[in-house]
Amino acid sequence: MTMLQTALHEIETAEELRKIIDEHENVMVCLGRMGPMCIPVYEAMEELEEEKDHIKFYTMAFDNPEGSIIREDPACQDFMGLPFTMYYKNGKVAHATSSIQSMEQIKDVLEKHFEN
Amino acid sequence: MDDIYDVMILGAGAAGLTAGIYTSRAKLSTVILNQGATGGQMVLTNEVANYPGVKTTRGYNLAAIMKSQAKEFGCKIKSNVRIQNYDLGGKIKSVELQDGRTFSAYSVIVAPGGRPRSLQIPGADRFRGAGISFCATCDGEFFTQKEIVVVGGGNSALEEAVSLTKYAKKVTIVHQFDHFQAFEHAVQEAKSNDKIDFIMESALVEFGGEEKLDHVMIKHIPTGETRKFSTDGVFLFIGYLPNTEDLINHIQLNDRGEIVTNSSLQTSTPGVFAAGDTLSKQYRQITTAVADGTIAALNAAEYVAKIKDKSIMAYAS
């Protein structure tokens, strides 16, 4: 059952996440809640999804037990702010951020890791 | 140049969305250009319990409904845009976006809202999300059984400090003055909480740590003495800044950067109205923003009707 009310596809299981990052070169996943620090990131992703066909955009609920695949990722070890946003390139974590990010900050990361 | 809209609204918080609902429902072609995420400060409010007609709701739910109402009436909403140039002085007003698009309208409603004030001190960017937070309800649980600092002396700071004691072992409030600006009941609630300590007349001057924040440097303002204070996290509730820097040469602002208007919410520039938290006013609530949006929209509609009547008369004569 999905928990986030966004226009993005919500990943529900760790297996689904593994399959997605195995099958797609560039993947951005935002692990969060329907809270004030997370919603602006979802909204930016919804807009970017319309213009960037070569990147796949997904959400995952922080309170979904299956979200431990991201919560326990070494890249998130010191994270203390929602959302946890993961950028996967060829199945591996290319970058990860904690807390709210602006459209510019997200675009910078996408540019750096996915625009080659 | 793109089509000319009747009304262009800059900002999609409670004021901008309300204005969009009113003008689009009045069959005026309307576009909202928003430099951030839809909902503005409203989505930062976890629970809204004083919006008349709605018992309790979450800020993001209220924002989502307002957005959908505006869109259903035909209002176009473009979020996360960056406005590069403003030309608000003439009969046709226009803005140019960073991506080269231009939007024009007969009337403009400026409702850019504000943003949380942050501390411009060493470590502020480095430890955001790794010890520095602006949202107790979002990040409080990461600090369970930890010691944290809350910076600020207004209602938000004191209420959130009390709320954070559900998680934290100890909360220390650091405030720059010798007294609080918060309502007395909020001050009393914080003072009667055993988990809360106070450091008054003091300011943070640095965030420190390795991978994550583990201390702050606190300066006692009257003496200038600075000391290291160990902490696991810092929550900042030090007010909001109006998003009006780009408007300084286009409409009159006061010395706090707030927009000056008359009682019709008309700014110093004819045809440009303003609404919401960036107005020079005493109270900033969702309800006051909604009221501003309504007033600005009705006056903008009247202005557009007059402009268009004059155009028709000129053409006919």
Per-residue confidence (pLDDT) for residue B315, from 0 to 100: 58
Angle of helix B286-316 versus helix B14-25 axis, rounded to 10 = 40
Please answer yes or no on whether B129 and A79 come within 8 Å at the CB atom: yes
Q: What are phi and psi of B97, to 5 degrees?
A: -90, 165
High-pLDDT (> 90) share of chain A, %: 78
Domains present along chain A, CATH in parentheses = 9-114 (3.40.30.10)
User: From chain B, which residues contact A within 8 Å (Cβ)?
Assistant: 36-39, 43-46, 58-60, 64, 79-80, 128-135, 137-139, 142-143, 211-212, 233
Per-residue confidence (pLDDT) for residue A79, from 0 to 100: 94
pLDDT, tens digit (0-9, with 9 covering 90-100), for A32-87: 998 878 988 998 999 899 889 999 999 999 999 999 999 999 999 999 999 999 99
CA distance B149 to chain A (A): 14
Please answer yes or no on whether A35 and B135 come within 8 Å at the CB atom: yes
Per-residue confidence (pLDDT) for residue B314, from 0 to 100: 65
Q: Which residues in A lie closer than 8 A to residue B132 (C-beta atoms)?
A: 81
CA distance B61 to chain A (A): 9
Per-residue confidence (pLDDT) for residue B317, from 0 to 100: 55
Q: Which residues in B lie closer than 8 A to residue A43 (C-beta atoms)?
A: 37-38, 79-80
Please answer yes or no on whether A80 and B138 come within 8 Å at the CB atom: no
Both tokens assigned to B193: 């909480």
> Is the bond into A83 cis (omega within 30 degrees of 0)?
yes
Residue B34's contacts (CB-CB under 8 Å, 6 or more residues apart) are B10, B11, B12, B16, B77, B78, B79, B80, B81
Domains present along chain B, CATH in parentheses = 4-116+240-316 (3.50.50.60), 132-236 (3.50.50.60)
Per-residue confidence (pLDDT) for residue A116, from 0 to 100: 64
Per-residue confidence (pLDDT) for residue B134, from 0 to 100: 86
Letter for the amino acid at B306? K
Paired sense of beta strands B132-133 and B233-236, if any:
parallel
Q: Choose from A80, A95, A105 for mutation: most chain B CBs within 10 A.
A: A80
- B36, B138, B143 ranked by CB distance to A82: nearest: B138
- The ipTM value here is 0.76
Max alpha carbon distance in chain A (Å)? 36
Give whole-number Cα distances, B4 to A68, B8, B31, B100, B206, in Å: 50, 9, 10, 16, 49
Per-residue confidence (pLDDT) for residue B316, from 0 to 100: 59
In terms of CA atoms, which chain B residue is nearest residue A81? Answer: B129
pLDDT along chain B (317 residues), means of 10: 86 97 97 88 78 90 92 92 94 93 97 89 92 88 96 92 96 97 94 98 97 95 98 93 93 95 97 96 90 98 91 61
Give the 3-state secondary structure percentages of chain A, helix then strand then coil, rounded to 5: 40, 25, 35
pTM of the model: 0.76
